[in-house]
Amino acid sequence: MSAPVLSSLVNHQVRLASRPVGMPTRENWHFTTEAVAEPEDGGVLLQTLALSLDPAMRGWMNEGRSYIPPVAIDEVMRAGGVGRVIASKSPQFAVGDTVSAGFGVQQYLRLAPGEFKRNGIFKIDLRMGSLTQWLNVLGMPGMTGYFGLMDVGQPQAGETVVVSGAAGAVGQTVGQMAKIKGCRVVGIAGGQAKCDWVVQELGFDACIDYKAGPSAVREGLKAHCPKGVDIYFDNVGGEILDTVLARINRKARIVICGAISQYNATTAVAGPKNYLSLLVNRARMEGIVVFDYADRYHLAIAEMASYLKDGRMKSKEDVVQGLEHFPEALLKLFNGENFGKLVLEVAPT
Binding site for a second copy (CB under 8 A): 65-67, 237, 242, 256-259, 262, 268-289, 292
**DSSP readout, 306-330?**
HHHHHTS----EEEEE-GGGHHHHH
Measured distance CA(298)–CA(81) in Å, rounded:
17
CB of 59 to a second copy, least distance (A): 9
Q: Are 99 and 85 in contact (CB under 8 A)?
A: yes
Tell me whether residue 75 or residue 292 sits nearer to a second copy (CB atom): 292
What minimum distance in Å lies between the beta carbon of 268 and a second copy?
A: 5
Q: Residue 280 CB, nearest distance to a second copy (Å)? A: 5
φ/ψ of 317, rounded to 5, equals: -120, 145
Angle between helices 216-224 and 238-245 (to 10 degrees): 40
Residue type, 215: S
> How much of the chain is helix, strand and coil, in % rounded to 5?
35, 25, 40
167 versus 257: smaller Cβ distance to a second copy: 257
DSSP annotation string for 160-224: EEEEESTTSHHHHHHHHHHHHTT-EEEEEESSHHHHHHHHHTT--SEEEEGGG-TTHHHHHHHHH
CB of 302 to a second copy, least distance (A): 24
Closer to a second copy by CB, 99 or 290: give it. 290
Q: Which is nearer to a second copy, 288 or 304 (CB)?
A: 288
Find the shortest distance in angstroms from Cβ 190 to a second copy: 21
Nearest to a second copy of 152, 198 (CB atom): 152
Q: Are 179 and 203 in contact (CB under 8 A)?
A: yes
Judged by beta carbon, residue 51 or residue 257, the one nearer a second copy is: 257
Fill in the amino acid letter for 231: I
How far is it, in rounded angstroms, from Cα 46 to Cα 112?
A: 11
Cβ(202)–Cβ(172) under 8 Å?
yes
Closest CB to a second copy among 56 and 202? 56
CB of 36 to a second copy, least distance (A): 36
Least Å from the CB of residue 28 to a second copy: 22
User: Is the CB of 129 or the CB of 141 nearer to a second copy?
Assistant: 141
Measured from the CB of residue 256, what is the shortest distance to a second copy in angstroms?
5
Q: Which amino acid is at 80?
A: G
Considering only CA atoms, which of 270, 276, 267 is closest in space to residue 248? 276
C-alpha span between 334 and 299 (Å, rounded)? 31
